[in-house]
Structure 1
Amino acid sequence: MPDSQLAPLTMTFEAMSLALVNYHQLLKTSTLPLWLPLSEFEHQSALSMQDKACALTTDIWHSGDGDGRMTQNCHGLIGANVELIAAATKLNFCKDAFRQALADLKDKDPKNINLSLRARSQKLARILRREGLSRLHLKQCYRHIPILAQGCLKVQFSWYSSGRSIKKISIEESFQKLLKLSQSSNHVQIQMNKLSNLRPGTALAQVQTQVPIMRVNAIWASEENSTGDSQWLRKARNAPLPLLVPLQEGEPLPSFNQPLLQPPKSRLRALRSDSLIEPTPLLPSLRVHCYRQ
């Protein structure tokens, strides 16, 4: 691929790198309060919350041969002055520009693109003292630093462990998916027989349990209503990274709870009695369920 075609990609990566370094330096030297949960190992190794925040929010590399679809997540709160918020806003803008430049080129010459980005990624890693990293983690490159538009009174964190994606699937589509599995397996034949016994047109649903996510609720007090009662404004969002909260020097973080670093192993919510989907799958191998009659 000619250098002229790679130019938008390399330019946007360089801009993102400069923005990343600037944000890292400002966060590293900030004197405003912050909170991130630390693991037992992090406590034992005397890792500070500030160092963890710096590493987490500027991490755009694979740390090993892990699944590229997985990201390093941690909730928390970071007190931010005007300068740090401006740096985070610019970094988010640069992330979007890099993502678009890569999307424009990714189908043309992926090998050449990877070689070009690897050299620049290694240079950036050395600047941020992140040794031994070479491959960019695109999902971590793209994700934004979350910023609260204005200070709030209270922040409520909560694990959301009950999410499911539900997709309708036909009997024929289910047959075709089962045919791709080993036909010598007894459990596959049993599921084929179950499908054969269904009435034509029976509605089926393929259910995927989603990975637990941390949600954060920011809460403000609004003007009192006619009865003199305070009204509360809430804004919820996912919190894969610590939330930047606007603060003035000497101002504390808003009131907040401190949930566990890892999600609970058991489901937090009971299954709804009015669910339209049978709880037991008809086809376990495909996570396919029947709709209740």
Structure 2
Amino acid sequence: MTSPSDMALQKTLEEAFDALCASIDTLCRHVDRHPPQLWCLPSDGGQPRSAAAWLREALTDMWYHDGQDGRATRNYVGVVAADEALMALAEAVNRGKDHFGEVITQIRTALPADRLSAMRAALPLRPSAVNAHLCDDGLARLHLKQCWRRVLIAPAPVARIRLAWYSNGRSIKRLSVQDAERLLMQLDTSADHVRIQYRKLAALPSDEPLAQVQAQAPLMRANLFYVEPLDDGRQRQAMNIAMPLFVPSPNGRLPHCNQPPAAPPETRTRARRSDSRIDDEPWLPSIRVHRYRY
């Protein structure tokens, strides 16, 4: 039975979601009336579309596709020359995303995970005129990461943008031998390959630091060169762009952008650092743990 507090949180979630959808719809309607200059990376080898069509797809893509990995998000790499009105609308979308994310966090803290799943599943089933066009059959599953990831907003006019794929990134987490042992214990400890890794771990000094390495998906990196230095003195800024980047443009023109390849390179394009302190081969493959070089 649903409690009054659960119903109140459900209502708060629905209101936050509808407000987010309304802010996106307002921005898209503005772009329909006043199409900005826009550059975008063609997706799936397709032909470039109008600014309005591309932006609408990028901002309303908040649903899982069949078979999609829940950790993966779809990228929409593009640069939008935004006047003052469009910049304000983009900021409003981000406020809606931030508020929706805050409500999700509140629900996760207050309720069991299955209640959030039920609330999320109910969102597209409501007869809402605001978001009816956001899913094909009303049975789509909401992708929370794609809901609250923000559009990118440059803080000042940009002279030029240098775009390049970054396809060799990795995240590194420092572990102790005890941490690695706990991770191995979560696997099938009766399996031969896990037993072998236990023996390898037991042979290490108990105070030896280890590194857990996770290869990251390719991403587009943008280097922004500002017309004037920012308040902190910087005239250049690097950022990863997986969502449209709105740049202030009083004259409505795009800054100069190079044309990167439509897909990341299949092989490593940069030489491996000679001073890397982490072994190339994992010491404990099942948990992606490497040893440091000394």
TM-score (norm 2): 0.84
110-119 or 59-68, which deviates more: 110-119
Q: Which amino acid in structure 2 is aligned with residue 260 of structure 1? A: P
Cα shift readout 1:194-215 (whole Å, capped 9, x = no counterpart):
2232233222211111222211
**CA RMSD between the two structures:** 2.6
Are the aligned partners of 1:157 and 1:216 in contact in 2 as well (CA < 8 Å)? Answer: yes
Q: Which amino acid in structure 2 is aligned with residue 170 of structure 1? A: S
Query: Distance between the aligned counterparts of 1:195 and 1:75, measured in 2?
Result: 43
Are the aligned partners of 2:35 and 2:52 in contact in 1 as well (CA < 8 Å)? Answer: no
Aligned residues with identical type, % of pairs: 34
Query: Distance between the aligned counterparts of 1:121 and 1:187, measured in 2?
Result: 53
Cα offset for 1:121? 8.4
Give matches, 1:1-293, under 5 Å. 1-2=3-4, 3-39=7-43, 41-43=45-47, 47-48=49-50, 50-106=52-108, 107-108=110-111, 109-110=115-116, 112-120=118-126, 123-127=129-133, 130-132=135-137, 134-183=140-189, 185-222=191-228, 233-248=235-250, 251-293=252-294
Query: Distance between the aligned counterparts of 2:264 and 2:127, measured in 1?
Result: 32
SS state at 1:285 partner: helix
Query: Distance between the aligned counterparts of 1:81 and 1:273, measured in 2?
Result: 46
Are the aligned partners of 1:282 and 1:288 in contact in 2 as well (CA < 8 Å)? Answer: yes
Query: Distance between the aligned counterparts of 1:284 and 1:92, measured in 2?
Result: 40
Cα offset for 1:192? 2.7
- Cα distance change of structure 1 residues 111 and 256 upon mapping to structure 2, 3 Å threshold: closer
Are the aligned partners of 1:78 and 1:243 in contact in 2 as well (CA < 8 Å)? Answer: yes
- Cα distance change of structure 1 residues 290 and 112 upon mapping to structure 2, 3 Å threshold: closer
SS state at 2:75 partner: coil
Q: Which amino acid in structure 1 is aligned with residue 46 of structure 2? A: E
- Cα distance change of structure 1 residues 175 and 132 upon mapping to structure 2, 3 Å threshold: same
TM-score (norm 1): 0.85
SS state at 1:92 partner: helix
Q: Which amino acid in structure 2 is aligned with residue 32 of structure 1? A: P
Cα offset for 1:49? 5.0
